[in-house]
Every structure is written in C-alpha cells, then in structure tokens.
Structure 1
Amino acid sequence: MAAPHATVSEGNSLSLNLADLFEVIVCGDGQLTYRELDADSNRLAQHLAGAGVCG
C-alpha cells in the first residue's frame, strides 16, 4: 500500500487545523491547545526581546 502524500502547504494547513483540536496542557479546568501555546510563547518571546532580555 502506498503512503499518502501531501504538499508542504497542505501539510502545514493540516497541522494548523489539528493544532486547534488537541490540548497540549491541561491543568484543573484550564487547557491550552497547541495553537494557543504557540501564540502565548510568541507573545512572551516578543515581550522579552522588547525588554532587551534576548538578542
């Protein structure tokens, strides 16, 4: 049986869509999806860079 294939663009789109479905962090009643964790980590990185911590 041949393995399914997709273009890079299709693969990225699939990954982003799946990122909305699955929680990566669950604590009590709170949870974050992969997409939310990525967005939060990007905001933190920008904040730290703006404060001169990184770079």
Structure 2
Amino acid sequence: MSTHDRIGGTPARVKVLGDFLRYAKQHPGVVFMRKDRIAELALSLPDVPVKAI
C-alpha cells in the first residue's frame, strides 16, 4: 500500500493508517518494504517481463 501526502495526509486517514499498520504488524508473514525493494523482488521472480510491451 502506498499513500500520497495530499490524499492520505488528513488527520482521520493518518489515524486509520496507523491503526491498520499496528494491526498488520501483529501477524506473522506480514512485511513492510520500500518500493525499490518491492521492484527488486518482482524482477527477481521467474516469468516477470523486464521490458514493457
């Protein structure tokens, strides 16, 4: 999940996002990664095209 600062930055949304992150962290197997690490992971998987069509 990713949020834009002007959309996700309202006080109510920040609270809900914080609540969700605290909840998600309690579950095994849940990971938090930066976008660059997600891209590296995706590109390392088999059958993932590297070039756009």
TM-score using structure 1 length: 0.35
Larger Rg: 1
Q: Larger strand proportion, structure 1 or 2?
A: 1
Q: Relative contact order (alpha carbons < 8 A, sep ≥ 6): 1 or 2 greater?
A: 1
